[in-house]
Chain A
Amino acid sequence: MKAHDRDRTPRSLVGGSPLSAHTIGFDGRELPAQEGQSIAAVLWSAGILAWRTTREGGAPRGAFCGIGSCYDCLVTVNGRPNQRACLVPARPGDTVTTQEGTGHADLAV
């Protein structure tokens, strides 16, 4: 008799445990992160699906293709805008902020 789906998690499927846990900052919150996760994975595990607004409509966006092809998951990491959250590993102490539009508001163009 298999465990009911409700008792399953991605971790229970693959077993083991992360070598270390840390946190990253997101818009002033501290989010738990496991070594080896991308920034997008850390945000998803906190239930956050959007971390960017579009240039034209200001619509929320997050990860879509998950493999670096669609550029929907662009985010500002440690002050650098337009980083692909699905590819960039989350490192201890990273500060991630929701990216508004181009992420270059400071250029005031």
Chain B
Amino acid sequence: MPTSPSEPDASGPADLADLAVVGAGPAGLAAAVTAAGLGLRVTLLDAGEQPGGQFYRHPAPGLGAARPEALHHAWPEFATREAALRAHVSAGRITYLTAHHVWTVVPDGGHWVLHAVAGPEERAAAVHARALLIATGAYERQLPFPGWTLPGVVGAGGAQAMLKAGLVLPGKRVVVAGSGPLLLAVAGSLAAAGATVPAVVEAAAYIAYAARTPVLLRNPGKLAEAAAYGAALARHRIRLLTRHAVTEAHGTDRVEAVTVARLDRDWRPLPGTARRIPCDALAVGHGLVPQLELATGLGCATRRSPDGTVALELDAGMRTSVPGVWSAGETGGIGGAGLALAEGEIAAHSIAGRPAPAGLVRRRARLRAFADAMGAAHRPGPGWTGWLRDDAVVCRCEEVPAGRIREAAGELGARDARTVKLLTRAGMGWCQGRMCGPAVAALAGEAPAPDRRPLSCPVPLRLLAELPPDAH
């Protein structure tokens, strides 16, 4: 008789699911409800309190938002799947575990054991499943600059998340900067919610898309979305500065202004082009980075994406290189919510041993091609480190300045981020290199290496102590 969910009896797991899905964002949610519809018993685990992940992050019920869709694109895609989730949960086909942060997955006699930290009281939880789908999404890519640790400087996705979930703004006058299509969405949301947005500062040249016209023309939905963003910028009188970057944030206790400079083709700031824009907040980000540590911990093979990030190597059925492990959404390469929904459904069919509907397969190919074109257009140029003064903090957690990292990569001969970490502590802090990883790799002169984090979140020692002795 098991005494706790994490202690199976001798005959095997007390409660073996057909499929465990990690992440209830667009990919995981679509996969879970599709798999349940195909007859599988599914356990869906998510770190959040509500389904939707980051893209469909929305106010908690207590906030009583009458029109949550006002902050969203393609809300019905979420609403129908959320309704399906509730129905499957009521019918006992899906076990939905909220506030469960999966920190590792281990194989155990032909099935998977997922270990999670559960709830505010940080309980231990374990889930056993025959198949595993990793839909852990992404976090934002940051390229540091002097002053980026000032209060009021927030991630572009961070500003969006705080607005979507908490109905709050970081300031009244918010500059939006970095690179990628998310900036346009963020600027539109902030302005619609009452902020003044003096400028959207985009490092890439949008002209880069023109070279990929056929891909654009095959994605009329994406063109319409772009037109809507353009209209929103015009309506709120927001200036779009392309081939520009915020090269410094100024202030003492909080940001008061930013310096914006023009960039050359390699993203090197051009001398004599700097100007100041007063603001009380800055929302900055350079696209997204797939969150892979659970997958790489199991040995899943990775590939380099056109945007310069590392993503999982997946086949047409969304299988990773490890038998019994599937993945969908941003983990297979940054591509947005529409692609994640399609991939989640394809994965569910594959896990259930069914062929994926042809329309889904075509949709995935089309959106993936578009994502690759966007990723290449917004990939950071090598010259961005030109705005990184030696005294600028790169690793926010351990407060390691650029000069120390350059010293490690220069005089001390470090050739990769891991060696830099051992010499400087950059990447050794609370966030485990999520915020500084791309920057440290660039300063070390290498492309970012695949994520390696034995624990995907902080785990109280007592939870490790409670593990049965034969747990790996």
Docked CA distance A20–B61 (Å): 11
B467 adjacent to chain A (CB < 8 Å): no
Which one of B64, B65, B67, B166 contacts A41 once the chains associate, using CB atoms below 8 Å? B166
Residues of A within 8 Å of B192, CB to CB, are 8, 13
Docked CA distance A64–B396 (Å): 10
Top 6 A-B pairs, shortest CB-CB distance: A41-B166, A36-B60, A35-B62, A66-B158, A36-B62, A71-B430
B31 adjacent to chain A (CB < 8 Å): no
Give, as a whole number of angstroms, the nearest-CB distance from B281 to chain A. 8
Q: How large is the interface on A (under 10, 10 to 19, 20 to 34, 35 or more residues)?
A: 35 or more
Docked CA distance A87–B68 (Å): 19
Give, as a whole number of angstroms, the nearest-CB distance from A4 to chain B. 9
Contact bitstring B374-414, A, C-beta under 8 A = 1, else 0: 00000000000000000000001111000000000000000
Which residues of A line the B interface, CB within 8 A?
Answer: 2, 5-20, 34-38, 40-42, 44-45, 49-50, 54-57, 59-72, 74, 82, 86-89
Further 17 A-B residue pairs, CB within 8 A, beyond A19-B62, A63-B154: A12-B194, A14-B68, A15-B65, A16-B64, A19-B64, A36-B59, A40-B162, A41-B168, A44-B170, A56-B399, A64-B158, A65-B154, A65-B155, A66-B159, A69-B291, A74-B430, A89-B49
Residues of B within 8 Å of A8, CB to CB, are 192-194
Residues of A within 8 Å of B168, CB to CB, are 10, 37, 41, 44-45
Residues of B within 8 Å of A19, CB to CB, are 61-64
B331 adjacent to chain A (CB < 8 Å): no
Contact bitstring B47-84, A, C-beta under 8 A = 1, else 0: 10100001001011111111110110000000000000
Chain B, Cβ-Cβ closest to A4 = B194
Give, as a whole number of angstroms, the nearest-CB distance from B27 to chain A. 16
Give, as a whole number of angstroms, the nearest-CB distance from A55 to chain B. 8
Which residues of B line the A interface, CB within 8 A?
Answer: 47, 49, 54, 57, 59-68, 70-71, 120, 139-140, 149, 151-155, 157-163, 165-170, 191-196, 235-236, 253-254, 281, 291, 396-399, 429-431, 434-435, 458
Residues of B within 8 Å of A17, CB to CB, are 64
Docked CA distance A45–B193 (Å): 13
Give, as a whole number of angstroms, the nearest-CB distance from A20 to chain B. 7
Listed by A's residue number, 30 A-B pairs whose Cβ atoms lie within 8 Å are: A5-B196, A9-B194, A10-B163, A10-B169, A14-B66, A15-B67, A16-B67, A34-B62, A34-B63, A38-B165, A38-B166, A42-B166, A44-B162, A44-B170, A49-B152, A49-B170, A56-B398, A56-B399, A59-B399, A60-B254, A63-B154, A64-B435, A65-B139, A65-B435, A66-B157, A66-B159, A68-B47, A69-B431, A70-B396, A71-B430
Residues of B within 8 Å of A45, CB to CB, are 166, 168
**Contacts A8-B192, A49-B170: A18 and B64 contacting too (C-beta < 8 A)?**
yes
